Amino acid sequence: MTDHAAVEVPRRVRKGPDERREQILKCARALFRERPYGSVSNTEIAAAAGVSRGLLNHYFGTKRDLYLAAVAQMLAVPPIPVPAFVEGAMVPDRIDQSIEAWLELLQRNRTTWITALDMSASGVDAELVEILEEGRESAVDHMAEVVGLAPATREHPEIRAAFRGYSGMAEATTREWLKYGRLDRDQVHLMLKEVLLHLLDRVVPQFVQSGAGSG
């Protein structure tokens, strides 16, 4: 048996705010990943974190805020593709490499990405939509960079919008691949590459032409 007058482990361990915050977020993520918003109670999260329920409100205010924080953290990792920007390479090659790198990243973060694709929220919340939109926005930025149209997107919002449409296809396609297994990686690659090249070749020029003098 242990020394009865020894270490005296305190029943409450006091941690710094940031550390505690992260610990709670970690447990919240794990639970929200598994079950929809409404079915996860604050009590449950607190128990998982070994913490009292009131502490969640202390750190995050409301349950929804905790949820949003957790979601934002989940989305923080996957949707940022690697640069793969090779100076002087031809656009098709850059696209090819970039798609390849992106798919590789997704495959490695498979489960994370899948949950990111269909997240468990119950109900449609404007703030949540906002967070998701921000994730796509950065994806679009990267894409514009890769294809060398970053300057053009600043001048032509339509091009940005077109890329957002494209990334909608990218999401749907990777879902077919990773979640449902109805496409394989090569097929996804082919489709994304073909469509992007075609967009650059046929669609973007027309957008630039028709809306040239706008603003």
**Residue nearer to DNA on the CB measure, 50 or 165:** 50
Residues 6-35 binding DNA (CB under 7 A) are 10-17, 20
Q: Are 94 and 147 in contact (CB under 8 A)?
A: yes
109 lies in the binding site for DNA (CB under 7 A): no
CA–CA dist 111, 143 (Å, integer): 23
**DSSP per-residue string spanning 60-90:** HSSHHHHHHHHHHHHHHSTT-------TT--
Residues 69-98 binding a copy of itself (CB under 8 A) are none
Pick from 22, 30, 54, 206: which binds DNA (CB under 7 A)?
A: 54
**Placement of tokens 């967070």 in the chain:** 131
Q: What is the DSSP letter of 36?
A: -
Residues 6+ apart with CB under 8 A from 207: 156, 158, 159, 162
* C-alpha distance from residue 7 to each of 4, 12, 64, 210 (Å): 8, 14, 40, 77
**Residue nearer to a copy of itself on the CB measure, 11 or 202:** 202
CB of 159 to a copy of itself, least distance (A): 10
Q: Are 167 and 143 in contact (CB under 8 A)?
A: yes
CB of 38 to a copy of itself, least distance (A): 5
Pick from 54, 61, 83, 168: which binds a copy of itself (CB under 8 A)?
A: 168
CB of 116 to DNA, least distance (A): 22
Q: Which stretch binds DNA (CB under 7 A): 55-63, 131-139, 179-187, 201-209?
A: 55-63
Annotate 129-141 with three-state secondary structure. HHHHHHHHHHHHH
101 lies in the binding site for a copy of itself (CB under 8 A): no
Provide the binding-site residues for DNA, judged by CB under 7 A. Answer: 10-17, 20, 40-43, 50-55, 57-58, 61-64
Provide the binding-site residues for a copy of itself, judged by CB under 8 A. Answer: 36-39, 64, 67, 115, 117-126, 128-129, 132-133, 157-158, 160-162, 164-173, 175-176, 180, 182-183, 187, 190-191, 194-195, 198-199, 202-203, 206-207, 210
